[in-house]
Each structure stands twice: as C-alpha cells, then as structure tokens.
Amino acid sequence: MNKSDKQLIAYIEDLYDFRQRIPAFLSKGKIEEVWDIKVKGGRYKDISDRQRGIINRKISILKDSLEWIVLKPFVQFIGVSGSVASEFVKEKDDIDLFIVTRNDTLWIYRLYLYFRNISKRRIRSRSKQSDVKDKLCVNFLTEERNLLLENDMFNLNELLFLKPVYYSAFLSVIFLQNDWLREKYLVSRKFLRRESLKVGMLKTIMKRNCIFFIINLICFLLQVGYMVVMKHDPDIQRLVNGFRSGRVEFFPKGFREEKLGKT
C-alpha cells in the first residue's frame, strides 16, 4: 500500500467517524461511487429499505414543488442537502435545500419565494416552528460567485451527499469550484463529473449586473427590515456579510462547528 492509498483510507475513516457522530452510516456503495475503489463491506453498512423509502418520498415532495420554486433564469441549481441527502432523515424532518442563483439575484429570489409561499405554504417559515414534517427549508442560498465552501469534514459530507433535483449538470461546476475535493480528499474524477463540464457553464460565474445589484439591495433591505419589525431577532452582521459575499446560511450560527466537534 503506497502513501496515497494510506491517505485515502484515512480520509474514508475520518468521514466514517464524522458520520457516526451525526449519526449516519457510510456505505460500501457510496465509497465505491465517490472514490472509484473496491472495499470490503465490514462496518460500511447500507441504509435500510425503510430509510430509503423516506428519502425518496421527501425528494418527490420537492420535485412536485419545482414548478413554482424554480424562477428562471435566476435559479441555476437546486439540490437536497441536510438529513435527507445525508441519509439519516426521520419521518418528522423537513427537507433542506441547497440553491444556487445567478449573481446579484439571491435576495430577489428569496423575496419571490416568500410571496409564492403565502399561497403554497410548503416552505418552513420560522426557525422554531414545531411541526416541520415535509416542509421545505431554504437554509443554504448562494450566488454563483461564492460556490467555494470551507475545506472541512462537514462540507465534504455535504458535497458528497448533495442530491441534485434541478439542473444536475451544474453540480460539476460546484465540484470544480471546490477543487479541494480532488486535491485533498482524492475524490475520483468520475464522481466530480469533470467529463460533463462545459465551458458555457463557467461564463457567468463572476459576471455582475449593476441594475440587478440595486434591485437585489432593495430586496435585501426590505427583508431585513421585515425580520426586525416582526421580531425574528436576525443576526444583522451575519446577513450583511452574506449580502456582500453572495451567500446566506440560515442554519443556526455555530451549527457546523457543533457537528465538527469544535467549540
């Protein structure tokens, strides 16, 4: 066994240990899919048929909602993340969404979702809502210019288990922007979809639009103002930083650090 093989085994073990803390399994099939290697079954267990049924049902709920969730041409990608994608979901859980929009449209799109949800009532509206079963939770919104995630085990798990639902081809762009998947964790080119990557997909990633920027800013101010008036106790600095960077994460502050076992 050479040095790179030992490193790969160590990364797989680290991911296994991380998923045990969630808690979730790491299956033999997933390892073979991600790293294109053969491993013995052993402790790498598959999820149960019951669990798989819950996952498929919840993904179907999202697919049935795509007609009104997708706002063309602003939305570039929609995927399922969180407990549904990571395969430790329970019947009572909501459905976490990972959404990519064009630059300078994130808050325009979020405002659009707010108004559509008035009649649809499918999106989870409050962080402390008690009954969230099968609700759609828009907890990760990012523009194309900020697809690079921090290099750690939490985001490795998120990206490896991310399940595309709308425009799956864009997943190759997300992977390309997170080249640490290949450089550090030795994820296979096949899994990263390098062969399906098209030049046209990369043309708009860093393009900005002054008019949309102004509209997006107005939508941002309206929504933050609404949060303040309705006493949602928003983290203003976090939201401002998110507006500047083109990304907003609506899961609780410190959530990622908690899962990583950091203080």
How high is the mean pLDDT of the chain?
91
226 occurs within a structural domain: yes
Asked if residue 108 belongs to a domain, the reply is yes
Q: Which domain holds residue 113?
A: 49-260
Between 128 and 43, the more confident residue is: 43
DSSP string, 97-124: EEEEE-TT-HHHHHHHHHHHHHHH--B-
User: Mind listing the pLDDT tens digit for each residue in 233-251?
Assistant: 899 999 999 999 999 998 7
What is the C-alpha separation between 181 and 189, in angstroms, rounded? 10
More confident residue, 198 or 15: 15
pLDDT above 50 for 93: yes
Spatial distance between the Cα atoms of 20 and 159, rounded to a whole number of angstroms: 17
Quick check: is 172 in a domain?
Answer: yes
CA 31, 37, 43, 45 torsion-angle sign: positive
Report the CATH number that the domain containing residue 72 is assigned in CATH: 3.30.460.10
Ordered DSSP codes for 30-99: HHHHHH------TT-PPPPHHHHHHHHHHHHHHHHHHHHH--TTTEEEEEE-HHHHHT---TT--EEEEE
- Quick one: pLDDT at residue 153? 95
Give a yes or no: residue 229 inside a domain.
Answer: yes
Give the global pTM: 0.93
| pLDDT score recorded for residue 128 | 65
- For range 162-177, the mean pLDDT: 95
pLDDT at 227: 94
Dist CA 236 CA 217 (whole Å): 14
At 42 the pLDDT is 76
Residue with the bigger pLDDT between 57 and 257: it is: 57
CA distance 142 to 96: 14
Do residues 226 and 208 make contact, with C-beta atoms less than 8 angstroms apart? Answer: no
Percent of the chain with pLDDT over 90: 75
Q: Is residue 247 part of a domain?
A: yes
Evaluate whether residue 38 is within a structural domain: no
Range 147-162 average pLDDT = 96
76 pLDDT band (50/70/90 cuts)? Answer: very high
Instruction: Give a yes or no: residue 153 inside a domain.
Output: yes
> Looking at the 3D structure of the chain, how many domains does it have?
1
Q: What is the pLDDT confidence band of residue 45, given thresholds at 50, 70 and 90?
A: confident
Taking the C-alpha atoms of residue 114 and residue 232, their distance in angstroms, rounded to an integer, is 15
139 occurs within a structural domain: yes
Question: Any idea what the Cα angle at residue 212 is, between residues 207 and 214, rounded to 5°?
Answer: 120
Q: How confident is the model at residue 43 (pLDDT cuts 50, 70, 90)?
A: confident
Q: Which residues pair with 141 in a beta bridge?
A: 99, 248
* The pLDDT value given to residue 263: 35
- Evaluate if residue 201 carries a pLDDT over 90: no
